[in-house]
A = this chain, B = another copy of it.
Amino acid sequence: MFAHDRWYVVALSSEVTAAPLGRTVLGENVVLYRTTGGRPVALADRCPHRRFPLSLGRLDGDLLVCGYHGFTFDCEGTCVAVPGQEQIPGRARVRSYPLVEQGVWTWIWMGDPEQPDHGRLPVTPWLVDGADWRVVTSMAPLQARYMLLIDNLLDLSHETYLHAGYIGTPEVAATPIETDVDEEAGIVRVNRHMQDVECPPFYSRSTGIEGRIDRWQDIEYFPPGYYLLHSRIAPCGVAPSADGTDAEAFHMKISYGITPSTATSTYDFWAVSRDFAFDDAEISDHLYKLNETVVQQDVNALNVLEKRVSRDPDPFELNIKIDRGGLAARRMVERIVQSEG
């Protein structure tokens, strides 16, 4: 059901603080906190004594103290104190999870903690809110299986209907897509290049473009947990230069961290990165609120869909051309899960 030997977004980096934070990833309970030195830590969120969630405890320096009987653990998950006796039993330890903090998101490795595969970690320089990119980000809890979110994101024709008035216009659903499945690299690409179309509110207000636009949506999906939409907005007819520069266009990278929580719930992390209007807090605020609304529209729809799907004895679904990307994504995820045995 889940691919374990992978990295998933486990938290906004700003959520990892001295106050322990509980998350459930691939059905495993994890507690996150940040040391006084600034290092993020992830441990199994289950005291070995009486199974109490360590996330309900508190930090004592860099040590995590269980809120029930005071069992105390260091950053590697080794127990260093128990109540009423000096001797620490040898089995008193909890699993520790490898973490990598990359800008606004912190990633967790859910496979063998001794062998995190850093080659599988998505490279995301646009998630560093700094000199090159301005980023807004948040997370919405979703009461639906993660495959429904993948389906949703790989087929943006839904923008026309679910997100009308925000990012959807009639042209999105009407414009055919190009799908490219790179089995070797393990990437699904879906491109939709719209010429001379309406500019939806999401972009008109943030770019200041008036009138009609060329609008490119180039999706890259890195199974199972990372989705990247390269969005290019330009005045009609303006193409990138032969040397690759594209000064008249506006670029955004819209990232989704798709993190399965349980069999029927998911963390829907999102970030909008832009390479313009760096110091305009109003545009940051606008993009934040608008994308938050758009994500919530998806969440509301998928929460309903999960209830339907989970009770529906008939698995039949009708596939058309727009579903090529989503179907390829499903197959890749299933293949990864199966390959783990």
Contact = CB atoms under 8 A, between A and B. Distances in A.
Interface of A: 29, 46, 48-53, 56-57, 65-70, 82-85, 89, 91-92, 151, 155, 157-158, 160-162, 173-177, 301, 304-305, 308-309, 312, 316-322
A57 B160 CA distance: 12
A305 B301 CA distance: 32
Contact of A84 (B51, B69, B321): B321
A318 B92 contact: yes
User: From DSSP, what is the main secondary structure of chain A's interface residues?
Assistant: loop
B84 A175 contact: yes
Contacts of A162: 67-68
A84 B82 CA distance: 63
Copies in the complex: 3
A320 B83 CA distance: 9
23 contacts: A29-B308, A46-B308, A50-B151, A51-B308, A51-B317, A52-B304, A53-B308, A56-B304, A66-B161, A67-B301, A68-B161, A68-B301, A68-B305, A69-B161, A69-B322, A82-B320, A83-B160, A83-B173, A83-B320, A84-B320, A85-B176, A85-B321, A89-B320
A286 B169 CA distance: 50
B308 A70 contact: no
Given A173-B83, A301-B56, A301-B68, A49 B317 contact: yes
B49 A320 contact: yes
A322 B177 contact: no
Contact of A70 (B67, B157, B304): B157
B84 A173 contact: yes
Tell me which of A29, A155, A177 has the highest count of chain B C-beta atoms within 10 A of its own C-beta.
A155
